[in-house]
Amino acid sequence: MFLTEEIVKQAAEKAKEGAPELPNFITLLYDKFGKVAVIGFMHHWENVVFSWMIAILICVVAYLAYRKRTLIPGGLQNFVELVIETLDNFVSGILGPAGRKFTPFLGTIFIYIFCMNMFGLIPGMKSPTSNLNTTVSLAVCVFFYVQYTGLRSLGIVGYLAHMAGNPRDVVTWLLVPINIPIHVIEELAKPLSLSLRLFGNITGEDVLITVFVGLGVSALSFLHLPVGLPLQLPFIFLALLTGTIQALVFTLLSTIYFSLMLPHDEY
């Protein structure tokens, strides 16, 4: 993928505001029509705009797959059912058969994050997960749903006992003043680690691709050409792998958080 020198200059200007990134179509529109109110609004909330674009795209694909469903699936329906079945097996393998009720939430989390990670690899688009606000919002949703699940499945007394380390004897009761702060800090650290891990990896990919785009343009600058060498191509393939892994890691950790909060059978 060749990129013009003008786009690289715009990426350098954006780097002054934070991590360098390639301009998206909203940024390009803002540079040309910045005085238009709608364009200015989209530029200010570009991460939200791209998040909504991806959410709408997922809904459209789900609708098209569901609209003409048949007993023997084919094409899009077959692909969607394969994805859903794989995610259901993934969640059920960790939480057990009773955990299938969490598949819609956790499966949606994976698909949504995966699509957001991949969206930035499309020319003119952006990965909303390269913004900390997006990843924190996702992590906070997981955090509150996990706490709600704990309160609902364990009850208030059981939830407090869980936070206290489930004391059963004198020693464990004496450790309650230590266990409660540790468990509170642990629960609060979960959304922080989820959001920072996803944000850091996707931002790192974007920065790496942007830097090599700049190097590709600089390599041919002596020829005064409007394009450069596509040095970023190997890192795009790397981003495909790491973007998938990060979506899987976020979903896997979220599933484990549910598992830790649910009541366990004693054998």
Q: Is residue 15 part of a domain?
A: yes
Q: Is residue 267 part of a domain?
A: no
Q: Is residue 215 part of a domain?
A: yes
Least confident of 71-75, 91-95, 162-166: 71-75
Q: Is residue 147 part of a domain?
A: yes
Please tell me the predicted confidence (pLDDT) of residue 19.
Answer: 66
pLDDT: is 262 or 192 the higher one? 192
pLDDT: is 7 or 164 the higher one? 164
Can you tell me whether residue 35 is helix, strand or coil?
Answer: coil
Q: Is residue 247 part of a domain?
A: yes
Q: Is residue 180 part of a domain?
A: yes
Please tell me the predicted confidence (pLDDT) of residue 2.
Answer: 41
Please tell me the predicted confidence (pLDDT) of residue 267.
Answer: 33
Q: Is residue 225 part of a domain?
A: yes
Quick check: 99 and 91 in contact, CB under 8 A?
A: yes
Who contacts 34 (Cβ-Cβ below 8 Å, separation ≥6)? 40, 43
| Number of separate domains in the chain | 1
pLDDT: is 85 or 68 the higher one? 85
Q: How many Å apart are CA 3 and CA 259, to the nearest integer?
A: 46
Q: What is the mean pLDDT of residues 64-76?
A: 82
Q: Quick one: what percent of the chain has pLDDT higher than 90? A: 48
Domain span at 27: 5-261
| pLDDT tens-digit series, residues 233-243 | 888 999 999 99
Who contacts 83 (Cβ-Cβ below 8 Å, separation ≥6)? 111
Q: Is residue 266 part of a domain?
A: no
pLDDT: is 199 or 168 the higher one? 199
Give me the amino acid identity at 52. Answer: W
Q: What is the mean pLDDT of residues 93-119?
A: 93
